[in-house]
Amino acid sequence: MSQVNQAKSKPYAIAQLGHAVLRKRAVAVNDILGDECQKLIKQMMLAVQEAGGVGIAAPQIHHSVRIFIMCSKPNARYPDAPLMAPTAIINPEILHYSAEKVKDWEGCLSVPSMRGLVPRHSQITVRYFDQQGNEQQKELSGFIARIFQHELDHLNGLTFIDQLASTQDLISEVEWYQQFSK
């Protein structure tokens, strides 16, 4: 079986840069408590856990709907990441951005082996629905705000590469580890 066919047979295979699903604007979820949405959330939680990521968006597993998972935790890619429980973010929006932007290194499960120095707003106020269908409004800052903005970009058909100020801010992950890892 080819790699392409193997990826299609897994319900949580991660779409790679160049796949059309990553460039589509995802559609809103209407039935959060429905079986289809709840099953997708479980698949996404499994996919991000298996991949060792700190977040994943539904388009990354070939579903063009407005859901992402945030699950920050220290790991080899982000050793200083704060610990947070895996959280489903449904139909998210950013209500307010801080004026201050901070550049920091980002990677992406859909852009393996690359890192980019991406400017992001340091603080944001967000609104979304949780897995139980409850509306949430929160202020996020630092790394958690970065994850939210990164994953929201996926729902809008963007990757971190689209946010780079210059291609000089792009580096291979091998080179990043040699230069910047502790």
Does 150 count as an annotated binding residue? Answer: yes
Q: What are phi and psi of 20, to 5 degrees?
A: -60, -30
Does 154 count as an annotated binding residue? Answer: yes
Q: Which amino acid is present at 126?
A: V
Q: Which amino acid is present at 162?
A: D
Here the tokens at position 112 are 């393996």
Q: Helix or strand or coil: residue 154?
A: helix
Cα–Cα distance measured from residue 75 to residue 182, given in angstroms and rounded to the nearest whole number: 12
Whole-Å CA distances, 113 to 28, 116, 125, 174, 177? 31, 11, 31, 7, 10
Catalytic residue among 36, 100, 151, 173: 151
In terms of DSSP H, where are the helices of the chain?
A: 3-9, 35-51, 142-155, 173-180
Query: Is 151 annotated as catalytic?
Result: yes
Whole-Å CA distances, 85 to 71, 130, 148? 6, 13, 14
Does 96 count as an annotated binding residue? Answer: no
List binding-site positions for Fe cation: 108, 150, 154
Please identify every residue annotated as catalytic: 151
